[in-house]
Amino acid sequence: MELVQVLNKMNFGATMTHGKGSTNEVDIIETVIDRNQMKALEDTLTGFDANIFYVIEDVRTKQNGIFAKRKNILTRWRVGK
C-alpha cells in the first residue's frame, strides 16, 4: 500500500508529485494537518519507513483543499480560524 493511501485512510488529504533528488528520483508527498495530529502523523511515517525523510513547515493559511472539519464548535468565532 502506498503512503498516500495510508494517509487518506487516516483522513489526511495527501498530494504526491514526482521529483528528481540529488542522487535519484523521488516521490514527494504533501499534506496539511493540525498540530494536534502531528504525533499520529510522525508515528505513521516512521511505521511506513523507519528511514523516511520528512520536513515539517508551519502553515499559517490554508484554503481550497480537503481539510477535516474541526471538532470544537468554539473555533468558528476565533479570528483567522
**9-39 per-position pLDDT tens digit:** 998 889 999 999 999 999 999 998 888 999 9
As a whole-number percent, the residues of the chain with pLDDT over 70 amount to 73
pLDDT at 81 > cutoff 60: no
For residue 16, give the nearest of 32, 29, 2 by alpha carbon: 29
What pTM value is reported for the model?
0.67
Domains in the chain: boundaries: 3-77
pLDDT at 3 > cutoff 80: yes
